[in-house]
């Protein structure tokens, strides 16, 4: 079946611009996670949704970062007034999170470059 | 919060040899430990995972062991092949279905 998809795959933004990154999870997956991966590092947790409810946003680095999943499917990560330190790959992962199936499957990521 | 340390940061092996990557975690409440393989520019791919009620799990050439007392777990790849070359990440979660805390990664190079 179709995996997790993300768009755009690449985004270049000038410092101060707003960006919106989209994630389409695997159909039927209840949980959705956003991670940030800096070059040469492991992914770092940003936020987590269970259906449409944002249950954990402890990893969002500042109030410029905002995520939503209004209908419990597609999610959008928005970054306002981008800064150079926001440059990274933003990964989305989804999980069925039911019936003992907790594996997280990742999308290809969006590479954000802030100039 | 949870902290995961991963060693070594780079590992070079000859094709056919075994490779072992080790991780330690800090939170004794962690109970789920997946391993991901990430090729350059690609998404992390889940290759194997283990839960805290199991000490070892195997899948063909890949195995993972868990020592809850010592709070460490390891990935073992036997009969390595050039296509095993990638970055490998370990991770830990304190609750099934919860966020993952990742190690810094190990670059594995398999020389043919």
| DSSP calls for B29-68 | T--EEEEEEE-TTS--EEEEEEETT-SEEEETTEEEEEET
Give me Rg for the CA atoms of chain A.
13
The tens digit of pLDDT for each residue in B55-88 reads 999 999 999 999 999 999 999 999 999 999 999 9
Q: What value does the mean pLDDT take over residues A34-46?
A: 96
Half-sphere CA count of B72, side-chain side, radius 13 A: 11
Comparing B53 with A17, the larger pLDDT belongs to: A17
Confidence of residue A1 (pLDDT cuts 50, 70, 90): low
Specify the range with the lowest mean pLDDT, choosing from A6-20, A39-53, B75-89, B92-106. B92-106
How far is it, in rounded angstroms, from Cα A62 to Cα A79? 9
* pLDDT greater than 70 at residue B96: no
The radius of gyration computed from the CA coordinates of chain B, to the nearest angstrom, equals 13
Nearest to B88 by CA among B108, B109, B71, B74: B108
Find out whether the peptide bond into B8 is cis, omega within 30 degrees of 0.
Answer: yes
Residue A101 has pLDDT above 90, yes or no: no
pLDDT score of A45:
97
Nearest Cα of chain B lies from the Cα of A31 at a distance, in angstroms, of 8
Interatomic CA distance for residues A3 and A92, integer angstroms: 11
| pLDDT band (50, 70, 90) for residue B94 | confident
Q: Sort out which chain B residues have CB atoms less than 8 A from A100's CB and list them.
A: 96
Residue A53's contacts (CB-CB under 8 Å, 6 or more residues apart) are none
- Report the C-alpha gap between B86 and B94 in whole angstroms: 27
A43–B98 CB contact, under 8 Å: no
Is the pLDDT score of A98 beyond 90? no
Q: What is the average per-residue pLDDT within A30-49? A: 96
Which of chain A's residues have a Cβ under 8 Å away from the Cβ of B39?
Answer: none
Q: What is the mean pLDDT of residues A55-84?
A: 97
Q: What is the pLDDT of residue A105?
A: 96
| A98 CA to centre of own chain | 21
* Helix, strand, or coil (residue B82): helix
For residue B90, what is the nearest residue in chain A, using CA coordinates?
A: A42
Are B65 and B73 in contact, with CB atoms under 8 Å apart?
yes
Identify the closest residue of chain A to B99 by CA–CA distance: A45
Average pLDDT over residues B15-40: 96
Query: Comparing A16-25, A86-95, B45-54, which segment has the lowest mean pLDDT?
Result: B45-54
Strand partners, A31: A50, A95
Residue B12 is predicted with a pLDDT of 98
Q: d(Cα A114, Cα A15) in Å, to the nearest integer?
A: 6
Confidence of residue A113 (pLDDT cuts 50, 70, 90): very high
Which of B90, B97, B100, B107 should one mutate to test binding to chain A, selecting the residue with the greatest count of A CBs within 10 A?
A: B97
Q: Is the pLDDT of residue B95 over 80?
A: no
* Confidence category of residue A2, pLDDT binned at 50, 70, 90: confident
Rounded Cα distance, A4 and A103, in Å: 13
Cα A64 to chain center, whole Å? 14
Q: What is the distance between the alpha carbons of residues B112 and B110, in angstroms, rounded to a whole number?
A: 7
CA–CA dist B73, A83 (Å, integer): 37
């Amino acid at each position: 079946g179709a995996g997790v998809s993300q768009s755009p795959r690449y985004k270049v933004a000038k410092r101060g611009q707003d960006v919106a990154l989209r994630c389409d999870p695997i159909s039927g997956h209840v949980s959705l996670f956003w991670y940030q991966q800096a070059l040469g590092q492991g992914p770092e947790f940003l936020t987590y949704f269970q259906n449409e409810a944002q249950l954990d946003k402890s990893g969002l680095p500042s109030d410029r970062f905002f995520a939503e999943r209004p209908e419990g499917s597609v999610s959008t990560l928005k970054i306002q007034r981008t800064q150079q330190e926001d440059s990274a790959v933003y990964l989305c992962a989804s999980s069925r999170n039911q019936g003992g199936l907790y594996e997280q499957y990742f999308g290809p990521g969006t590479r954000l470059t802030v100039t | 919060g949870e902290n995961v340390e991963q060693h070594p940061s780079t590992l070079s092996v000859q094709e056919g040899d075994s490779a072992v990557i080790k991780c330690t975690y800090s939170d004794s409440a962690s109970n789920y430990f997946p391993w991901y393989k990430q090729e350059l520019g690609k998404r992390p791919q889940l290759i194997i995972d283990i839960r805290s009620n199991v000490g070892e799990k195997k899948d063909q050439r890949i195995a993972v062991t868990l020592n809850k007392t010592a709070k460490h777990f390891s990935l073992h790849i036997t009969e390595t092949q050039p296509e095993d070359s990638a970055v490998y990440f370990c991770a830990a979660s304190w609750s099934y279905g919860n966020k993952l805390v990742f190690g810094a990664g190990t670059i594995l190079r398999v020389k043919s």
